[in-house]
């Protein structure tokens, strides 16, 4: 067969957060589409947008709307062709028996978060609730959740699929209180699929084939989570199985949320996109609104029959 | 002289051949015994003081993890070793080569050397994307970083070594009518060899650092990957397991280079 | 064992004026070529920004960069001092109590053969992402280099000189202070000199894995915000800081070790 | 050449040995140092075996012997740096003693000058006093006074690398003299000097010795030197070192430069040379692996 | 001791100098090497100034002079390593020539043995032949044959650090002899040896010279050595070096060990010592900054 070589750059190392792609490779779905796909993991100092824009990688599962906006703002020629996580993938966690019972209680407390986009969500939530972010001690968050477990930190940011699991297993879920962005009317979709403008223009069939195979992979992963975990753990055997099973379940929740049941996986919800853009413009993270039409391109998804895309 | 004999027990007089064979074996056994003792002490400390595993896991747990899933560690070891070797070999070759060139072309050296120095102040990790861009997502990308960290000390010491040639020795060979090439092969290079090996020993550690850091730029196999995985999943046991494997790799590689040094520089560095 | 000392010397900047001129010329040529390539091929910033843009960005972001540099330099210097003290102290202990050598030296060699970066996950887990983890990482990187070079220096002492002082009735401490320490200074200085650049790099690398500030943090943030001019700016500042630190120690070395 | 004026004492000493009478060796006095059945093994190597000698106070005794015969070992024992083997007898100032009890009691000058490069001439000279715990200021003042006598006037604040080999050797000697002990051990102090500088230094040493009145035990390889300096010459056998010949040098003091070509001197030289000849032959062809390599500077 | 059998030639040479007649210096023959008005400045330092000498084929000429008087400089010029200043005249084998034309034409042995530590005795000895481009195997075989003569039998595959100082010096000499050139320059070949080993080496050198019939120019600091070895002694003045005294040594050959205590020898020694005395005084007190520090090994 005459396969087209292509690579997918992930935002991080192998884990079930990306299970669908690995399953699709394992089951040969990309090959079926004529694509010889290599999955390249991310790293602490790599940005998928950069690698896709320069042509080092064909596809990217990048940080999220935050990184897509930042890239477009810096004139990186990338296009978002799909969004995986329809909801804000992280929550803010406090102790159930602690002093923080409501958003209002954030005032004067120590909150740690990632300064890679999550901080803007936090600011927006605070502002929405009439709190001046300056009154909250906001600090960069470290990898380890131990400071929170040990009570040195009042509120911690946690992805639903990673840190939350760690905290939960160390403290017990009942000991935790979570704050969700959507409760304040904010949505921050993440895990975006991107290609370069060139690829979008010159190889639309490649993109379509990639999406088709990826969706198939994800649907298989949802249908057979144990098998999907096996596939991923074969690549990264040092991972914790229970954690990975939990992660896949959480990823599924995030991926099938919002309008996905009607519009299919990887749906780009332009309403959520606009909310997020406003958030960034207000926070002066991007200098000006970007050209949304040029940045988000649903045509590749739309070319796939809706029935195939529905979870 | 006396210093060189001290650091090169191989050249010391005395000792029957069977004893010579037995001695390294005994030393190895002693090392192993110390190692076992250290792990036992560690285990005891963790148990007695009830140290939480997030801070310090018990060595038995670490070894159990290594035993249960050896594949990633073995593969990681091999991959990182390969990258280290490629980077080290190319860095050493380039370092020595450019050292020779600089020795001959002083103007070039004065022009370029400061740039070399500046280049060594750059933390490579900042340029993950550039490395991937230039060298792709291949083994060679990691080897390139190992190379970058390796060549510089080798260049510096090659130069230092070449310049430490006794001018009287050079005069002697010239009085025999030696050509520049003969001078290089018969005098200058051998004289520089001890210094070069000092750098190679240092470079053996640096090459490993380069390979591990290189693996942070999007890779699936390698000790660096395992470290990163362990760090971000707070898998302290895995971090320790990887650390021990790295220590084994580092120590072995260093020992091999040091062994090669004893073999090739049997006469020691005469100061 | 003593051979593991870093005899490698990033050549101490002891240049005459012509060497200096050539060096400056080399750097200028390099910068011009860089500028020319970046401008000539219209390279995008994410591939290679022009030097002029980087310098301009350093100027506009000077406040951020200065603060960050202060952060990183503090971490590097404090860690450096702690590491150097530990390194020298260990060497002194081994020299004064020879019994400890059989344990301390192999242990140090083993710990040292693990790349420092491999410790970073643990150190960050243990000490958090604040300055203490950077102090520890830098101290770790510096102490072994200094330890091994100091010990090699102590061991390099001429046995006959030791005997001479002994014949005057000198004890171990007097011999250490009057003879071993000064003898070891050149090697110690070489170790201290290479450690300068390493200390700043280790601080930056650790910052990239988690920090509240500093050049590494700035670089990390800038990468994620796709601000590559900023990345380069921070690198330039880091380079300058490294060279300054290196130069400072080299200067002090030439002042102190005048007899070489 | 321009320093003639600065080093009057030295020049005087060098051009003609001073004219006052030298201290005569008084063998009747009880010996200052006595060695009997002195032996020392290093593993399989027996360096010294049954060495016997007695040194009277104020005597200048020179020791010659082939390379590796144990001369330095002997000195190391007397300086207290090394213990002799069991059965050896060592008596100092009439009392039997262990070697280590002699640490700090004997003024020792090793084969090389061993100056500390980071210390000035003065500060090198006062090391022994510093170690004795004497106040630095007073020691420095004392050392400064002694500079002219040692031909070092004006060089007190120089560093060793700024000095010639002969001057360095004089600094080392000055250091030895500043460690005021009855017995001085000089191990080939002029071995590293060229032959001409060496003869100058010999004449000068005699002059200094005359004025300071110490007991000197002096190792050399040079027969001329041994005879020119000593009241008595001890010739050692090849390893294991023991006394092969003891020769009284009854040449008049002060000794002048032309003594070495006088018939009496030549007569003595012939005796010593003969004794040495066979010993030298013994060790001449031994491979380096067992011979000491003191002649190859590291 | 156990090596007696291995080095018969050397032992013979050392115990009694061989008995065949030595080549008489033939002054009538045209000189092999001629130097006239030879001068050499190094910046402000004039090392050699108007040196004049002629060396006949087969002659053994020794050169003495105070440290730093330019002896090594002279040798460097004759070895072709350094050009003399303009106006100097250098004639070799009857033809006037530039110094660099002498590169590879003169067999040169520098002050230190300068053995390459990574080469065995044999391989050190064959360096000159290797550089000439001769096949290694043949050279090695030749060198191996010469070992006994140089007292190195059985040591061919040892490395320099396994040898004693005397043996190293013999290897260096052997290397010089293997570079078969009419003229040999020996720059203080025995300077680093102790006095006893030294006298052995002197007698042995005479024996080797007798058999190999080369022309030798030999630098030394030691007057005894100069007289014992040479057909003629050239005494140089203190810097700037020129000829202070030329003395024919008409002592019979072969020369025996007891020659040095013979009245004829003493007579000649007195002459040379006198000539040297004032020259030595001139350079004795110069500070190290200007004096060469060849006596302080690095
Ligand atoms: N610490 C030691 N360990 C082992 N062997 C030693 C030691 N010190 C001396 N020897 C051996 O003892 C012998 C005598 O050595 P010593 O240095 O006393 O000789 P020496 O007469 O001073 O020689 P030289 O004239 O060359 O200075 C030599 O064979 C030497 O190798
Ligand atoms: N390459 C050089 N550059 C500058 N000065 C030099 C050089 N070579 C020799 N000299 C100077 O020339 C003078 C004569 O030196 P030379 O080595 O010839 O003396 P020498 O007679 O061989 O001394 P020694 O007996 O100590 O070996 C000395 O003052 C020395 O410092
Ligand atoms: C929004 C968001 N920001 C940071 C992290 C934490 N994190 C997980 S992996 C990694 C390194 C590479 O980005 C980091 C910082 C997260 N989970 N989600
Ligand atoms: Mg000795
Ligand atoms: Mg000379």
For ligand 1, whether the C-beta of D40 sits within 6 Å is no
Quick one: which of A7, A10, A6, A8 has its CA closest to A191? A10
Fold of E29-106+183-282: Rossmann fold (3.40.50)
**CA D66 / ligand 1 centre spacing (Å):** 11
Spatial contact of C177 and D127, defined as CB atoms under 8 Å apart: no
Task: Please indicate whether, in this complex, the C-beta atoms of A46 and B125 are within 8 angstroms of each other.
Answer: no
Spatial contact of B175 and E106, defined as CB atoms under 8 Å apart: yes
Quick one: which of D81, D109, D65 has its CA closest to D209? D109
The pLDDT of residue C50: 94
| Domain regions of chain D by residue span | 29-106+183-282
pTM of the model: 0.85
Mutate to test the pocket of ligand 1, among D292, D293, D294, D296 (most ligand atoms within 8 A of CB): D292
Distance from CA of B243 to the nearest CA of D (A): 41
Q: Which structure tokens are listed for D294?
A: 């003191």
The pLDDT of residue B42: 93
> Considering the domain boundaries, does residue B45 fall inside one?
no
The pLDDT of residue D282: 63
Ligand nearest to the CA of E73: 2
Q: How many Cα neighbours within 13 Å face the side chain of A122? A: 29
**D contact residues 120-159, partner C, Cβ 8 Å cutoff:** 127-128, 130-132, 159
Range(s) of the domain holding residue B169: 79-270
pLDDT at position E293 over 80: no
Residue with tokens 């040639």: B165
Distance between CA E114 and CA E96 in Å, rounded?
Answer: 31
Q: Which structure tokens are listed for E257?
A: 């060990």
* A299 close to C (CB below 8 A): no
Distance between CA D124 and CA D137 in Å, rounded?
Answer: 14
The pLDDT of residue C14: 52
Q: Which structure tokens are listed for E208?
A: 């080797």
Quick one: which of C248, C116, C122 has its CA closest to C189? C248
Distance between CA B231 and CA B212 in Å, rounded?
Answer: 14
Give the rounded distance of the alpha carbon of B169 from its chain centre.
32
The pLDDT of residue A155: 97
Phi and psi, residue C79, nearest 5°: -60, -40
> What are E's interface residues with B at a Cβ cutoff of 8 A?
76, 79-81, 103-104, 106, 108, 110-112, 114, 116-118, 127-128, 130-132, 159-162, 179
Q: How many beta carbons lie within 10 A of that of residue B115, not counting itself?
A: 15
Helix (H, G, I), strand (E, B) or coil at A267: coil
The pLDDT of residue C228: 87
The pLDDT of residue B46: 93
* C12 close to B (CB below 8 A): no
pLDDT at position D107 over 70: yes
Task: Please state whether the peptide bond connecting residue B239 to the residue before it is cis, i.e. omega within 30 degrees of 0.
Answer: no
Distance between CA D245 and CA D237 in Å, rounded?
Answer: 8
For ligand 3, whether the C-beta of B232 sits within 6 Å is yes
Task: Please indicate whether, in this complex, the C-beta atoms of B271 and D298 are within 8 angstroms of each other.
Answer: yes
pLDDT at position D6 over 50: no
> Considering the domain boundaries, does residue B182 fall inside one?
yes
Distance between CA E150 and CA E8 in Å, rounded?
Answer: 10
Give D204's contacts (C-beta < 8 A, 6+ positions apart): D10, D13, D14, D151, D170
The pLDDT of residue E212: 85
Residue nearest to atom 7 of ligand 1 (CA): D42
The pLDDT of residue D287: 43
For ligand 1, whether the C-beta of D71 sits within 6 Å is yes
Spatial contact of E54 and E33, defined as CB atoms under 8 Å apart: yes
- Within chain C, residue ranges assigned H as helices are 17-40, 51-60, 62-96, 101-113, 116-127, 131-155, 159-167, 172-175, 181-208, 215-224, 228-256
pLDDT tens profile D54-70: 999 999 999 998 778 88
pLDDT tens profile C105-163: 878 877 887 888 889 888 988 888 899 999 999 999 999 889 989 998 998 898 889 99
Average pLDDT over residues E64-92: 90
Residue nearest to atom 9 of ligand 1 (CA): D73
> Considering the domain boundaries, does residue B47 fall inside one?
no
Phi and psi, residue D130, nearest 5°: -60, -45
Query: C-alpha distances in angstroms, C224 versus C221, E15, E47?
Result: 5, 87, 70
Average pLDDT over residues C151-177: 91
Strand pairing of A4-9 and A35-40? Answer: parallel
Task: Please indicate whether, in this complex, the C-beta atoms of B137 and A7 are within 8 angstroms of each other.
Answer: yes
pLDDT above 90 covers a percentage of chain E that reads 50
pLDDT tens profile D110-145: 888 899 999 999 999 999 999 999 999 999 999 999
* D285 close to E (CB below 8 A): yes
* E165 close to D (CB below 8 A): yes
Task: Please indicate whether, in this complex, the C-beta atoms of A140 and C209 are within 8 angstroms of each other.
Answer: no
Task: Please indicate whether, in this complex, the C-beta atoms of D103 and C160 are within 8 angstroms of each other.
Answer: no
pLDDT at position E221 over 90: no
Distance from CA of C141 to the nearest CA of D (A): 30
pLDDT at position E113 over 50: yes
Q: Which structure tokens are listed for C37?
A: 């390539």
Residue with tokens 């005048």: C258
Ligand nearest to the CA of D69: 1
Distance between CA A308 and CA B122 in Å, rounded?
Answer: 50
pLDDT at position E280 over 90: no
Phi and psi, residue A169, nearest 5°: -70, -25
**CA E71 / ligand 5 centre spacing (Å):** 6
First to last CA, chain D: 32
Q: Residue B193 maps to which CATH number?
A: 1.10.3720.10
Q: Which structure tokens are listed for B212?
A: 């591990």
Q: Residue D184's pLDDT band (boundaries 50, 70, 90)?
A: very high
pLDDT tens profile C37-74: 999 999 888 888 999 999 999 999 999 999 999 999 99
pLDDT tens profile E27-42: 567 899 999 999 999 9
The subunits that touch chain C, with at least 3 C-beta pairs less than 8 Å apart, are A, B, D
Spatial contact of E32 and E173, defined as CB atoms under 8 Å apart: no
> What are D's interface residues with B at a Cβ cutoff of 8 A?
44, 289-290, 293, 296, 298
In which element (H, E) is residue A241 found?
helix A241-255
Number of domains comprising chain B: 1
pLDDT at position C22 over 50: yes
pLDDT tens profile B20-70: 678 888 888 888 888 899 899 999 999 999 998 888 999 999 999 999 999
Looking at domain C67-256, which CATH architecture does it have? Orthogonal Bundle (1.10)
**CA B1 / ligand 4 centre spacing (Å):** 16
Average pLDDT over residues E101-106: 91
* E164 close to D (CB below 8 A): yes
Mutation target among B123, B211, B236 for the C interface, most CBs of C within 10 A: B123
pLDDT at position D21 over 60: no
Burial of E85-100, coded b for 16+ CB within 10 Å and e otherwise, reads eeebebbbeeeeeebe
Q: Which structure tokens are listed for B270?
A: 């005469």
Q: What stretches in chain B show pLDDT beneath 70?
A: 1-20, 268-271
pLDDT tens for chain A, 311 residues long, are 689 999 999 999 999 999 999 999 999 999 999 999 999 999 888 889 999 999 999 999 999 999 999 999 988 999 999 999 999 999 999 999 999 999 999 999 999 999 888 999 999 999 999 999 999 999 998 888 888 998 989 999 999 999 999 999 999 999 999 999 999 989 999 999 999 999 999 999 999 999 999 999 999 999 999 999 999 999 999 999 999 999 999 999 999 999 999 999 999 999 999 988 988 898 888 888 999 999 999 999 999 999 999 98
Spatial contact of D113 and D169, defined as CB atoms under 8 Å apart: yes
Residue nearest to atom 16 of ligand 3 (CA): A159
Phi/psi class of residue E64: alpha, beta or left (left: φ > 0; alpha: ψ in -120 to 50)? beta
Spatial contact of C174 and C165, defined as CB atoms under 8 Å apart: yes
């Amino acid at each position: 067969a005459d396969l087209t070589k292509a690579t997918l750059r992930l935002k991080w190392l192998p884990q079930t957060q990306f299970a669908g792609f690995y399953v699709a490779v394992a089951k040969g779905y990309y090959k079926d589409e004529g694509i010889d796909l290599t999955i390249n993991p991310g790293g602490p100092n790599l940005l998928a947008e950069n690698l896709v824009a320069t042509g080092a990688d064909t596809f990217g599962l990048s940080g999220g709307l935050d990184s897509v906006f930042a890239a477009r703002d810096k004139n990186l020629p990338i296009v978002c062709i799909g969004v995986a996580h329809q909801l804000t993938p992280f929550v803010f966690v406090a102790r159930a028996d602690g002093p923080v019972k409501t958003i209002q209680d954030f005032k004067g407390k120590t909150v740690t978060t990632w300064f890679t986009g999550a901080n803007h969500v936090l600011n927006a939530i605070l502002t929405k609730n009439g709190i001046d972010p300056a009154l909250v001690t906001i600090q960069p968050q470290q990898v380890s959740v131990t400071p929170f477990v040990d009570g040195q930190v009042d509120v911690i940011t946690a992805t639903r699929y990673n840190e939350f699991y760690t905290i939960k297993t160390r403290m017990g879920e009942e000991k935790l209180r979570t704050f969700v962005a959507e409760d304040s009317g904010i949505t921050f979709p993440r895990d975006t699929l991107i290609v370069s403008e060139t690829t979008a223009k010159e190889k639309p069939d490649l993109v379509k084939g990639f999406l088709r195979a990826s969706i198939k992979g994800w649907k298989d992963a949802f249908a057979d989570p144990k098998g999907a975990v096996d596939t991923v753990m074969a690549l990264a055997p040092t991972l914790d199985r229970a954690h990975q099973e939990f992660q896949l379940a959480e990823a599924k929740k995030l991926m099938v949320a919002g309008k996905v049941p009607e519009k299919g996986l990887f749906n780009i919800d332009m309403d959520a996109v606009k909310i997020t853009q406003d958030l960034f413009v207000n926070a002066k993270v991007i200098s000006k609104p970007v050209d949304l039409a040029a940045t988000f391109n649903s045509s590749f998804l739309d070319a796939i029959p809706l029935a195939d895309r529905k979870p | 002289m006396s210093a060189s004999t001290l650091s090169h027990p191989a050249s010391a007089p005395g000792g029957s051949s069977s004893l010579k064979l037995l001695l390294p074996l005994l030393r190895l056994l002693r090392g192993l015994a110390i190692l076992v003792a250290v792990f036992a002490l560690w285990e005891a400390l963790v148990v007695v003081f009830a140290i939480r595993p997030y801070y310090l896991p018990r060595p038995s747990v670490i070894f159990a993890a290594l035993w249960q899933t050896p594949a990633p560690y073995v593969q990681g070891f091999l991959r990182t070793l390969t990258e280290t070797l490629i980077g080290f070999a190319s860095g050493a070759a380039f370092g020595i080569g450019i050292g020779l060139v600089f020795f001959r072309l002083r103007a070039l050296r004065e022009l370029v050397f400061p740039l070399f120095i500046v280049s060594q102040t750059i933390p490579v990790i900042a340029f993950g994307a550039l490395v991937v861009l230039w060298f792709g997502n291949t083994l060679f990308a990691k080897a390139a970083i190992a190379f970058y960290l390796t060549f510089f000390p080798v260049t510096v010491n090659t130069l230092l070594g070449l310049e430490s040639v006794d001018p009287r020795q050079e005069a002697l060979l010239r009085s025999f009518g030696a050509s520049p090439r003969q001078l290089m092969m018969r005098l200058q290079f051998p004289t520089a060899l001890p210094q070069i090996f000092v750098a190679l020993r240092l470079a053996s550690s640096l090459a490993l650092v380069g390979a591990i850091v290189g693996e942070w730029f999007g890779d699936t196999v390698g000790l660096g990957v395992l470290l990163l995985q362990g760090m971000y999943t707070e898998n302290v046991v895995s971090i320790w397991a990887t650390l021990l494997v790295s220590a084994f790799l580092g120590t072995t590689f260093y020992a091999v280079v040091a062994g090669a040094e004893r073999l090739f520089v049997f006469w020691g560095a005469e100061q | 064992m003593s051979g593991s000392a870093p005899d490698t010397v990033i050549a101490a900047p002891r240049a005459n004026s012509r060497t200096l001129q050539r060096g400056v010329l080399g750097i200028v040529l390099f910068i011009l070529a860089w500028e020319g390539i970046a401008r000539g091929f219209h390279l995008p910033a994410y591939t290679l920004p022009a030097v002029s843009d980087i310098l301009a960005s350093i100027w506009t972001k000077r406040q951020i960069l200065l603060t960050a540099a202060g952060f990183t330099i503090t971490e590097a210097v404090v860690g450096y001092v702690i590491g150097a003290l530990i390194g020298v102290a260990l060497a002194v202990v081994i020299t004064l109590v020879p019994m400890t050598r059989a344990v301390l030296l192999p242990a140090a060699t083993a710990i040292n053969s693990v790349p420092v970066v491999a410790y970073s996950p643990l150190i960050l887990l243990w000490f958090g992402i604040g300055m203490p983890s950077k102090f520890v990482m830098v101290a770790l990187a510096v102490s072994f280099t200094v330890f091994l070079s100091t010990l090699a220096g102590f061991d390099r002492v001429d046995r006959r000189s030791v005997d001479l002082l002994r014949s005057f009735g000198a004890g171990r401490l007097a011999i250490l202070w009057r003879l071993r320490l000064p003898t070891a200074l050149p090697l110690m200085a070489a170790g201290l000199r290479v450690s300068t650049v390493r200390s700043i790099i280790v601080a930056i690398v650790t910052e990239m894995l988690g920090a509240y500030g500093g050049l590494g943090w700035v670089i990390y943030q800038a990468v994620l915000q796709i601000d590559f001019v900023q990345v380069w700016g921070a690198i330039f500042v880091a380079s300058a800081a490294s060279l300054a630190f290196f130069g400072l120690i080299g200067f002090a070395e030439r002042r102190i070790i005048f007899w070489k | 050449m321009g320093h003639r004026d600065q080093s009057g004492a030295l020049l005087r000493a060098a051009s003609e040995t001073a004219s006052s009478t030298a201290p005569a060796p008084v063998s009747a006095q009880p010996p200052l140092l006595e060695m009997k059945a002195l032996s020392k093994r290093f593993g399989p190597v027996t360096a010294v075996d049954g060495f016997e000698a007695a040194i009277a106070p104020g005597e200048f005794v020179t020791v010659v012997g082939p390379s590796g015969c144990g001369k330095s070992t002997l000195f190391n024992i007397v300086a207290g740096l090394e213990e002799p083997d069991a059965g050896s007898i060592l008596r100092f100032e009439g009392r039997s003693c262990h070697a280590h009890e002699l640490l700090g009691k004997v003024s020792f000058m090793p084969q090389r000058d061993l100056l500390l490069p980071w210390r000035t001439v003065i500060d090198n000279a006062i090391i022994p006093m510093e170690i004795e715990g004497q106040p630095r200021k007073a020691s420095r003042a004392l050392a400064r006074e002694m500079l002219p006598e040692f031909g070092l006037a004006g060089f007190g604040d120089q560093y060793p690398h700024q000095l010639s080999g002969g001057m360095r050797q004089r600094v080392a000697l000055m250091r030895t003299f500043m460690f005021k002990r009855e017995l001085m051990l000089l191990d080939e102090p002029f071995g590293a000097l060229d032959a001409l500088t060496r003869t100058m230094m010999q004449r000068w040493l005699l002059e200094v010795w005359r004025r300071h009145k110490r007991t000197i035990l002096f190792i050399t390889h040079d027969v001329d030197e041994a005879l020119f300096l000593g009241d008595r010459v001890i010739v050692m056998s090849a390893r294991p070192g023991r006394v092969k010949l003891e020769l009284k040098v009854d040449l008049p003091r002060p000794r002048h430069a032309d003594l070495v070509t006088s018939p009496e001197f030549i007569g003595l030289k012939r005796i010593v040379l003969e004794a040495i000849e066979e010993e030298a032959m013994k060790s001449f062809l031994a491979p380096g692996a067992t011979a000491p390599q003191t002649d190859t500077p590291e």
